Structure 1
Amino acid sequence: MFILKCKIIIGKYKMVAATAVKIKRSIYSYVDTASITLPASARLKDNAANVPASVSTSANFKEGDMVEIWLGYDNEADLHLEFSGFVKRVNATMPCVIECEGYSWQLSRKNVHWSTGKTPEKLKSLLSKVVEGTDITLSKDIPDMEVQQISEGDISGTEVLEWLKKNLYLTVCFAGKELYAGLAYLDMKDKGKIKYRVGWNLVKDNELKFRKADDIKLLVKMISFNNRNEAVKAEAGDSNGAIRTIFAQHNTPASELKKMAEKNVKELRYDGYEGKVTGFLEPFALPGYSVVLQDPNYSEREGTYLIESTEVNFGSGGGRRICEIGPKISK
């Protein structure tokens, strides 16, 4: 028998129960969010004094308190860290709702002079200046690419991340305190792998749809940048199809971009699944993980897919993990 367990640490307090917890993360967003619902009055365990005390819940938490949410089954030692970040807002309602934000919270409060000067600079070098003075680390998978001449003046750290998404078409997201910026589909395949089997370890699969390659309308846009930081573009596929934008290395000529676009159209048109599946807290998975989907009734539909987003819900109704299924990585 599996018994739901949680460990929630906010500032100096530790809780082993909550009315409800909701966590949302996505490879398309650098803002991880969580909400924790607690009784208006509770017994909170002070990590320093180790003495439980009955207190007004909202009065003991404040913006900027560090937050960790651990969830799982049976033993505290087996719980997974589902969220780490900071208190963004305390709603003194009944019950008390604590809104939390991931490590983007630190960057939103930091000013950065976003500039390369007159010469290009490596992306990772620029990001190291952005995260300097915070608890944030940089992913080893950030590509070795140059950013051409930019001068945006003093902007916040999160505005820098938004600039990277808007101008360089990069995927920017956090895995806990680790910041990643790069390609969504090429550099995120080895983050972790889980297996879901329809009718076995899924609570709900009615949002999972099967699609045929012949029915897919898709427009792939390939983008590169030259030494003047100007975008060079090429596209392939259906002009009225769903747009998929893919960033290529700097100084890739338009003729090569065209070939890459055509190649990606073929790879992204496939017989396979799309949509969402709902599982339990186990197996543990995060955005960027790959998931092997198995269907005993339709073995020809099986394949490995990228998980684009997750939503975790924990409370009296149980523990659930909703995974949004992205592109097919392999058969």
Structure 2
Amino acid sequence: MFTLKCEIKIGSYTFYSVQEVKIKRSLHSFVDTAFITIPASAAIRYTGKLPTKSVFSSADQFAEGNKVEIWLGYDDDRQLEFEGFVKRINAASPCVIECEGYSWQLQQKGVLDSNKTIELKKLLTKITEGTDIILSDEIPDLNLNQAYFTGKTGTDILDWLKKDLYMNVYFEGKLLYAGFDHMQSPKAGVYARGRKATDPLSYRTIENNASYKIGDTVIKDDELKFRKASDAQVLVKAIYIDKKNQPHTAEAGDANGAETTLHISHFEDRKALQKAAENKLSTLKYDGYEGKLIAFLQPFAFPGCKAKISDDKFTARNGTYRIESTEVTFGASGGRRIAEIGIKI
């Protein structure tokens, strides 16, 4: 029989019991969040020189900026569901510790930078300098124009890339991606029993798909709807106006479809314009699922992983799909993973 286990590291403390944990991660957001609920008073293991330390007030033991790791699973098969920092502590009863992923470090970092033109990778290197953030090697080569930032934070710039340049911007732990695709090789932390919070993490590439069988290993799937690309007639236009007031346009989709227009003023690369149009089209027109399914903690999966879905009633829908977001809950009532399913791969 499998037993649910947790291992939570906050600062120098590690504890193996918790009232409740809630975690949210998404390909559509660069802010990962977690909420850890513990009793207002608790006994917490200290992983420094002293082996243990009894505490009376849980809230007094933690501080904003403490590093956080949340490992959940069954028996010794524990997976790294979240890594980040303490953002806020609600010193009520029970005590709720609000955590944020590595975007938290960028919220603390002010940026004063003006560039007539700058490479995307160089801009991201500047805003992540002095943090623990690692840039993905899959970030595309792209020159940005008129990148002027005054009184902005690092997260303001990520928001600018996402909203004004229509890029996909998200974290995978401490790994940051920005571009028009998604990281192709998701990685997860490797569990090591007895590892101290100050010890470095090692990572592994996720090679196996998460398998879900509708009506069997899936607890609930009534929010999951199948959609076909042929059901939507859409045309996306990405437009850049150059210095001579001449428009440059890239199109993706159906010639006579309902038009969606992207006005982009910070790059004129023709290939990038085309990628921006195709990226937007992929959110409007695709073969795949729309909605979420509820399953147990296993199989382990997170945004960017692949889900292999089988359905005996609708075999035509069997296939491999991209996981867009996950919501993980853990507590006395058990562990659940809500996975948002997207495009068919």
Shift of 1:218: 3.9
Q: In structure 1, what is the equivalent of residue 30 of structure 2?
A: 30
Which secondary structure state, in structure 2, belongs to the residue aligned with residue 79 of structure 1? Answer: strand
Mark the runs of 5 or more structure 2 residues left unpaired by the alignment.
187-205
- When residues 42 and 265 of structure 1 are mapped into structure 2, their CA distance, relative to the original with a 3 A threshold, is closer
The one of 133, 137, 142 aligned to 2:139: 142
Q: Is the 8 A contact 1:148 1:227 kept in 2?
A: no
| Structure 1: distance between partners of 2:342 and 2:263 | 15
2:323 aligned with 1:323, yes or no? no
Q: In structure 2, what is the equivalent of residue 252 of structure 1?
A: 270
What are the equivalent positions in structure 2 for 1:1-331 lying under 5 Å apart? 1-48=1-48, 49-75=50-76, 78-116=77-115, 118=116, 120-183=117-180, 186-191=181-186, 192=206, 193-216=209-232, 218-222=234-238, 232-235=248-251, 236-237=253-254, 250-252=268-270, 257=274, 269=285, 272-329=288-345
The percent identity for this pair of structures is: 50
Shift of 1:7: 0.5
Shift of 1:97: 0.6
| Structure 2: distance between partners of 1:308 and 1:266 | 13
Shift of 1:135: 0.8
Q: Is the 8 A contact 1:149 1:228 kept in 2?
A: no
Q: Is the 8 A contact 2:118 2:147 kept in 1?
A: no
Q: Is the 8 A contact 1:24 1:312 kept in 2?
A: yes
Q: Is the 8 A contact 1:287 1:310 kept in 2?
A: yes
Shift of 1:257: 4.6
TM-score of the superposition, structure 2-length normalised? Answer: 0.82
Shift of 1:328: 2.0
Moved more, 281-290 or 262-271: 262-271
Q: CA deviation digits over 1:5-27, x for unaligned, max 9?
A: 00001111111010000000111
Q: CA deviation digits over 1:166-206, x for unaligned, max 9?
A: 221111111111111112xx333443432222123212111
Which secondary structure state, in structure 2, belongs to the residue aligned with residue 106 of structure 1? Answer: helix
Matched AA of 1:93: A
- When residues 115 and 40 of structure 1 are mapped into structure 2, their CA distance, relative to the original with a 3 A threshold, is same
Which secondary structure state, in structure 2, belongs to the residue aligned with residue 41 of structure 1? Answer: coil
TM-score of the superposition, structure 1-length normalised? Answer: 0.86
- When residues 276 and 231 of structure 1 are mapped into structure 2, their CA distance, relative to the original with a 3 A threshold, is farther
Q: Is the 8 A contact 2:88 2:99 kept in 1?
A: yes
- When residues 201 and 129 of structure 1 are mapped into structure 2, their CA distance, relative to the original with a 3 A threshold, is same
Which secondary structure state, in structure 1, belongs to the residue aligned with residue 301 of structure 2? Answer: coil
Matched AA of 1:109: Q
Which secondary structure state, in structure 2, belongs to the residue aligned with residue 282 of structure 1? Answer: coil
- When residues 97 and 174 of structure 1 are mapped into structure 2, their CA distance, relative to the original with a 3 A threshold, is same
| Structure 1: distance between partners of 2:286 and 2:8 | 42
Moved more, 272-281 or 216-225: 216-225
| Structure 2: distance between partners of 1:39 and 1:26 | 29
- Aligned-pair Cα RMSD in Å: 3.2
Which secondary structure state, in structure 1, belongs to the residue aligned with residue 302 of structure 2? Answer: coil
Q: Is the 8 A contact 2:41 2:57 kept in 1?
A: yes
Mark the runs of 5 or more structure 1 residues left unpaired by the alignment.
none
Q: Is the 8 A contact 1:19 1:316 kept in 2?
A: yes
